[in-house]
Each structure stands twice: as C-alpha cells, then as structure tokens.
C-alpha cells in the first residue's frame, strides 16, 4: 500500500505545534524551578522560608492618608517630618543601589530588602555592631542609571532565614532584612555633589553597599530630604508597578486572581518608563 504523504503545510503546522508545546513546557519548568529548589538546584531555598505576602495596593498613591491606611507601616514617613536628626550623634549609613524600580516598589510596600551575598553578610554584621552600640543604620536608596536617590530607610533586623518571593529576579536573592522607611522622595544627584563616601569619592558614584560617614555625609543627606518640598517620588508610578507585580505573581502561579487596577494618566506613566 502506498504511504500517504503529509502535506507540507501540515508538516509546518505540526512543527509549529510541537514548538509551542515545547515552549509551554519550558515556561512551566521555569515556574516550578522558581519554587522547587530540589528540581532547580537552588538548595538555599530548601533551608529558608518562602515569604509570600498577600498582594495589596492603594487606589490613590498621591493621597498620604489613603497610603497610610493601605500600608500602616509607612506611618514612619509622617513621623520623620518632626524628627530632629541632628540629635543623632552617631549612626551607620550605606548607599544601596537597586537594579530595578520594581524592587524598590516592593521594598516600600512590604518593608523588606535583600542584596548580594557579600553585602548581606556586611549588613548583617553591621546590624550586630549597631545593636551593641545602640545606634541606627540608615540606607540611602538609588536605582542604577536613574541619576537620583529615591528614598531613605532604617535597617531594622539582621539577615533573616526567609526569601521574599517576588523580587524581580527572585532566585538571585537569598535571605531578607526588615526595613523601615523614613523618606520616599526623588532627589537628583546634583543636590549631593559636594558630598563624598568613606573612599573619598563622590557619594553619587558609590557602589552598592558603600559605607558613608554619618556626620559629614549621611546627616547632610537626611537633612536635604527633610528640607526638600518636592512631591515627586516613586509613589507617582506605583500603579504601573502594582500591575507589573500582578503579572509577576501570575507568572509564578496562573491561578492567581487580582483586582483590576485603574491607572490614572496612563500615557504619562508609560512615557516615563519608555521614553
């Protein structure tokens, strides 16, 4: 009996179908690996709890009252307005440089932070030393290539035995610190151009984890934040980051259902990110 020859178009459809199936399998494997350390080889996840807080969002991120109602832990932003930082005679201070605005967004929402293994070890040791001296540790946050600082937070814990599940590159970060936000505001580097780090280099050019002197650099930076009356901050773009967080959570678990976020001034926000 003659063999039936497949139509070339059918062959192409079969190949395309197989390719789509393979692609779906790869995506599913990646999802499983993110949360299955035995399959992915990420053995550090076996020994650490996976911290997956529920998704929360504020409908009006430009309204401080609504922000504080949604994120009660951000009451420290109001408290900082009346604090006399000059009374702090000694403190530790470090420059923190994030690769993405998304991670700053989640650090503010959920009060957590994580860095590279060397920086985590350094900050953990610094926290122990600060606890012994009863002094605070301030972290000055910037996003790589942003040309500005975006906020200041206090380090409130040593390195904890848990992994926050929703960093933009989840599997890259190990462990977790608690942070308490003091200021959330965009201030351009130029405002700090006369300040240097402990390596005597401009503070604006500091690498992630660089220590700065409290009296000569940290305190003047905090004072600048307190005096600045600008309302520009990452809060202005929180809605788009909330949507991106929803997508990220869905990517890890497609069964997740989220409320619809209505974005105000959507074109302006997208212009901000993709200009």
DSSP percent split of the chain into helix, strand, coil, nearest 5: 50, 15, 35
Domains and CATH numbers, the chain: 54-234 (3.10.590.10)
pLDDT bucket at 44, cuts 50 / 70 / 90: very low
Instruction: Report pLDDT for 262.
Output: 66
Instruction: List Cβ neighbours of 254 (8 Å cut-off, separation of 6 or more).
Output: none
Between 257 and 103, where is the model more confident? 103
Give the span between the Cα atoms of 149 and 192, in whole angstroms: 10
Instruction: Give pLDDT tens digits for 77-99.
Output: 999 999 999 999 999 999 999 99
Q: 160 has which bridge partners?
A: 176
Does position 274 have pLDDT exceeding 80, yes or no?
Answer: no
Instruction: Report pLDDT for 48.
Output: 66
One-character DSSP codes across 150-191: EEEEEE-S--BSEEETTSTTGGG--SBEEEEEEEEEEEEGGG
CA distance from start to end of the chain: 64
pTM of this structure: 0.78
């Amino acid at each position: 009996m003659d063999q039936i020859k497949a139509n070339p178009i059918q062959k192409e459809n079969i190949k395309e179908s197989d390719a789509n199936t393979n692609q779906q399998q790869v995506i599913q494997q990646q999802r499983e690996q993110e949360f299955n350390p035995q399959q992915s080889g990420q053995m550090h996840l076996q020994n650490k709890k996976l911290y997956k807080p529920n998704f929360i969002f504020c409908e009006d991120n430009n309204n401080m009252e609504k922000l504080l109602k949604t994120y009660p832990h951000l009451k420290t932003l109001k408290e900082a307005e009346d604090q006399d930082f000059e009374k702090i005679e000694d403190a530790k201070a470090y420059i923190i440089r994030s690769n993405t605005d998304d991670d700053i967004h989640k650090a503010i929402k959920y009060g957590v932070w994580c860095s590279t293994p060397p920086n985590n070890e350094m900050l953990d040791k610094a926290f122990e030393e600060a606890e012994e001296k009863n002094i605070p540790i301030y972290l000055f946050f910037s996003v790589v290539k942003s040309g500005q600082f975006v906020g200041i937070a206090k380090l409130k814990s040593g390195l904890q035995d848990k992994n926050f599940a929703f960093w933009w590159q989840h599997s890259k970060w190990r462990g977790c610190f608690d942070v308490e936000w003091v200021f959330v505001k965009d201030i351009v580097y130029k405002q700090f151009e006369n300040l240097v780090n402990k390596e005597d280099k401009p503070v604006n050019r500091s690498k992630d984890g660089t220590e700065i002197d409290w009296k000569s650099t940290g305190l003047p930076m905090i004072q600048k934040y307190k005096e600045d009356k600008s309302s520009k901050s990452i809060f202005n773009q929180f809605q788009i980051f909330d949507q991106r967080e929803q997508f990220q959570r869905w990517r890890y678990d497609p069964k997740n259902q989220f409320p619809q976020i209505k974005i105000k001034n959507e074109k302006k926000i997208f212009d901000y990110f993709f200009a």
